[in-house]
Amino acid sequence: MKTRNFREYKVWQDAVEYATKVYEVTSKLPWFEKKGLCDQLQRAVVSISSIIAEGAGRSTDSDFAHFLYMALGSANEVETQLLISKNLNYIDLEHYDMLILNLTEIQKQIVGLITAIKNS
C-alpha cells in the first residue's frame, strides 16, 4: 500500500489557498445569493482540495487518479460558477480574471499529477 501525505502536494496547498481567495470574493456577493450561487461555489471550491486529500489516502494509483479526475471536475464546476457570477456582475472583471488564472494553474497541476501517476 502506498503512503501519500496529501499536505506535501503543491496542488493541494494551492487549492486550499485558492478556496480562501474564493471565500473572500464570495463574501461580497449579494445577500440573496448566500443560499444559492454563493453556497454552491463555496462547496465546489472546497471540494477540490478535499477530494485530493481523500484520494491521496487511497491504496492504489488508479484510485488516486480517479479522485484527481473528480477534483478536476470540481474545478470545472468552480470555473462555470465564476463565469455565471461575472455575467451577473457579482464579481468584477479584475477579480474574475485573477481567480480564473489561479484556477487554470490548479487544473494544470491536477492534470500533470494524473499524467505522472499514470506514467509511473
Count how many residues are written for the chain.
120
Question: Contact, 1 vs 59, CB < 8 A?
Answer: yes
- For 6-118, CATH number out of 1.20.200.10, 1.10.10.10, 3.40.50.1010, 1.20.1440.60 equals 1.20.1440.60
89: left (phi over 0), alpha (psi -120 to 50) or beta: left
What are the structural domain ranges in the chain? 6-118
Name, in order, each residue with C-beta under 8 angstroms of 98's C-beta and a sequence gap of 6 or more.
21
Q: pTM higher than 0.75 for the full model? A: yes
Neighbours of 79 (CB within 10 A): 16
pLDDT at 1: 63
Output the tens digit of pLDDT for each of the chain's 120 residues. 677 999 999 999 999 999 999 999 999 888 888 788 999 999 999 999 999 999 999 999 999 999 999 999 999 999 999 999 999 999 999 999 999 999 999 999 999 999 999 998
pLDDT at 97: 98
**What cell was used for 77?**
464546476
